[in-house]
Amino acid sequence: MGESAGPALRSRVLSSGAYLPSRIVTNRELATRIDTSDEWITARTGIKQRHIAADGEVTSDLAVAATREALARASLTHDDVDLVVVATTTPDETFPATATRVQAKLGMTRGFAFDIQAVCSGFVYALAVADNFLKLGQAKTAVVIGAETFSRILDWEDRSTCVLFGDGAGAVVLQAGPSIGSGGDRGILSTHLHSDGRLHDALYVNGGPSLNRQVGVVRMDGREVFRHAVVKLAEVVEEALAANGLTGADIDWLVPHQANQRIIDGMARKLGLGANRVVSTVDHHANTSAASIPLALAEADQDGRLQRGQLVLIEAIGGGLAWGAGVIRW
């Protein structure tokens, strides 16, 4: 007979952290370089500005800054962390994982670290993976980071894509605890992941180590992505709510991937949520890919909108196509 299993574990969010490069590029500045306008970008996307990493500032630098803030807010140090998961599409190098660069820069001498690649859905995927490690007892304290220097894979001559994205990083600290007793209802309630590789051509980068030696740049059929985004996000959100016996009315905060204000508004309408229950950062961050949800979580956590015990719904879709959702009792 083996030992009897302990109480079931649940991953709780202890804190959040964020980092945005100091340089801000407004729509008006972009319009001096390419054939676009503040009016076009604002009307189609809601984006007004984006942060762009400095020369020499790499994804792991952004990730480390966000993680340091999150650890400080949880009153923890890097010595308390045994798992680092970085969601990124813009790793420092082809290998090793950017997460191991983060581990070293933080000064960690133990634990394990790896990257997740699910483009704009990367944070939802990373959260799901870390949650499963914590629930199985294979790690106790994890940092889940979304970090991107997306500006490095943009074609700055292609006005239909380069105006949409920005750089940044967000992080949350997760810790495993019993799912019963005081605070037992708090934590990640469920995550739901999907992908369909047949939809590759809607959004991809035209380079990579196995194709050629160039990193490549983003290529996107914006209308096709939009069309799938509306349908697939609605489906996965419905799945997430149903799995927890919830309806839209139960959700305190929708914290969506920040691609486009029109997609965000469409999801809020479907859920019956007013703008006062949706966290939107797309106007000042643009689309930061895997960083967009943790940046939005950090903003709403740190300005007091997110309160302990509230129900938070996250959702994202991006290249792959890959999409997902999660329900968190904050």
Closest residue to ligand ACO using C-beta atoms? 222
Question: What is the helix (H) or strand (E) element at residue 51, kind and residue range?
Answer: strand 49-52
In the list 20, 124, 144, 164, the residue contacting ligand ACO (rule: CB under 6 A) is 164
What phi and psi, each to the nearest 5 degrees, are found at residue 52?
-125, 130
Minimum distance, C-beta of residue 35 to ligand ACO, in the bound complex (Å) = 7
Residue tagged 């995927």 (tokens): 125
| Residue 163 found at the interface with ligand ACO (CB under 6 A) | yes
Give CA separation, 232 vs 87, 132, 196, in Å: 21, 24, 11
Among residues 45, 98, 141, 175, which is the contact residue for ligand ACO, using CB under 6 A? 45
Report d(CA 70, CA 56) in Å as an integer. Answer: 23
Q: Is 162 a catalytic residue?
A: no
Shortest CB 316 distance to ligand ACO, Å: 7
Catalytic residue of the set 51, 78, 257, 285: 257
Task: Read off the tokens for 241.
Answer: 């709510």
Q: How many CB atoms lie within 10 A of CB 223?
A: 9
Q: CB under 8 Å to 128, separation ≥6 — which residues?
A: 191, 193, 324, 326
* 287: annotated active-site residue: yes
Q: Tell me the number of residues near ligand ACO by CB under 6 A.
A: 23
Residue ranges in 98-157 that form contacts with ligand ACO under rule CB under 6 A: 120
Nearest approach, Cβ of residue 177 and ligand ACO (Å): 33
Q: Which stretch binds ligand ACO (CB under 6 A): 47-55, 90-98, 178-186, 252-260?
A: 252-260
226 binds ligand ACO per the rule CB under 6 A:
yes
Q: Is the peptide bond before 178 cis (omega within 30 degrees of 0)?
A: no
Report the distance separating Cα 142 and Cα 127, nearest Å.
Answer: 10
- 133 versus 165: smaller Cβ distance to ligand ACO: 165
Tell me how far, at minimum, the Cβ of 230 lies from ligand ACO, in Å: 9
Q: Of the candidates 49, 89, 90, 287, which one interacts with ligand ACO according to CB under 6 A? A: 287
Q: Is 225 in the site for ligand ACO (CB under 6 A)?
A: yes
Residue appearing with tokens 């997902």: 324
Phi, psi of 224 (to 5 degrees): -65, -45
Place of tokens 């239909």: 160
Binding flag, residue 199, ligand ACO (CB under 6 A): no
Contact in structure between 143 and 169 (CB atoms under 8 Å): no
Q: For binding to ligand ACO (CB under 6 A), which residues are involved?
A: 36, 40-41, 44-45, 120, 159-160, 163-164, 203, 220, 222-223, 225-226, 229, 257, 259-260, 287, 317-318
Query: Which amino acids are annotated catalytic?
Result: 120, 257, 287
